[in-house]
Amino acid sequence: MKKFFLKIYLAYSIVVFCLIMTLSLPLVTIPFLLGERTGGRIAYFFLKVWGNSFGCLCGIWFRAVGRSKIEPGRTYVYVANHNSYLDSPAFVTAIPGQFRPLGKSELKKVPVFGWLYPYVVITVDRSSTASKLKSMRTLREKLASGISVFLFPEGKMNRTADPMLPFQDGAFRLAVEMQTPIMPMVILNSRRLLPRSPFVLRPGVITTVFLEPVEVAGLTMADVPELKRKVADRMREALEEQDQYQYRGWRVVQ
């Protein structure tokens, strides 16, 4: 009986997701006619409205801890762990202001969601070297213009029992090249609410925790391995101590 109701709940949530996404499409895409920076601010406001609306209607609450660590007006390379499709609305609602995430180009084929995807995401085909080079060039351009970027350093969704997959170099090379600080984040509880297998959805709270930013001023490409290790260790430690970020009623324990 429980499995039956979870399937009904999943079907309901998919319908809600598609409906809100369809209604949000013009609100997110049209503002870009005003230009990258002004239009982007408006578009990302409505994108956050989409994420929070989807969560409220489906019984999923997105919460952020440590947002005060983000210095207003400063540009960051945001990085986070990746365990579930719910990670996307989690980081969209958690990160203040506009930014540009890097995402796989295959998602452009998803009905409804794929129509909006290219407007707010820097897409990459990981099987194409040319696409990878183009996406990195675009990420550098965004950082140079003062717009933060977001990457999953694992490179793909973690389906293993390990807390995180090994990190790839891209985010760290980008941060060093552009001399932009890294803002590590950990997303908690998303896999429990929406695992890849079995594909069911449960209501609950997803918490995004911002850790201390990692400065890269003066670092060179030779420092990338140590930088990557430092960030991975900091995120892994937060994942291992995630109980301190759990909710007791409506209060965050920090």
pLDDT at 247 (0 to 100): 55
In a domain, 247, yes or no: no
How remote is the C-alpha of 64 from its chain's centroid? 12
In a domain, 23, yes or no: no
Query: Mind spelling out the 3-state secondary structure of the chain?
Result: CHHHHHHHHHHHHHHHHHHHHHHHHHHHHHHHHHCHHHHHHHHHHHHHHHHHHHHHHHCEEEEEECHHHCCCCCCCEEEECCCCCCHHHHHHHHCCCCEEEEEEHHHHHCCCHHHHHHHHCEEECCCCHHHHHHHHHHHHHHHHCCCEEEECCCCCCCCCCCCCCCCCCHHHHHHHHHCCCEEEEEEECHHHHCCCCCCCCCCEEEEEEECCCECCCCCCHHHHHHHHHHHHHHHHHHHHCHHHHCEECCEECC
Within-domain flag for 43: no
* Tokens matching residue 100: 């540009």
Tally the domains of the chain: 1
- Which tokens sit at 236? 């892994």
pLDDT recorded at residue 251: 37
100 in Cβ contact with 121 (< 8 Å): yes
Is residue 210 assigned to a domain?
yes
Q: What pLDDT, on a 0 to 100 scale, did the predictor assign at position 246? A: 62
- Residue 112 falls inside a structural domain: yes
Task: Indicate whether 183 belongs to any domain.
Answer: yes
Residue 26 lies in a domain: no
Q: Which domain holds residue 143?
A: 63-241
Q: Structure pTM?
A: 0.91
CATH number at residue 212: 3.40.1130.10
Q: For residue 123, is it within any domain?
A: yes
Provide the residue-wise pLDDT of the chain in tens; the chain has 254 residues: 677 888 889 899 999 998 998 898 899 888 888 888 899 999 999 999 999 999 999 999 999 999 999 999 999 999 999 999 999 999 999 999 999 999 888 877 777 677 778 888 998 888 888 988 999 999 999 999 999 999 999 999 999 989 999 999 999 999 999 999 999 999 999 999 998 877 889 899 999 999 999 999 999 999 999 999 999 999 999 998 877 666 544 333 33
Q: What is the pLDDT of residue 36?
A: 86
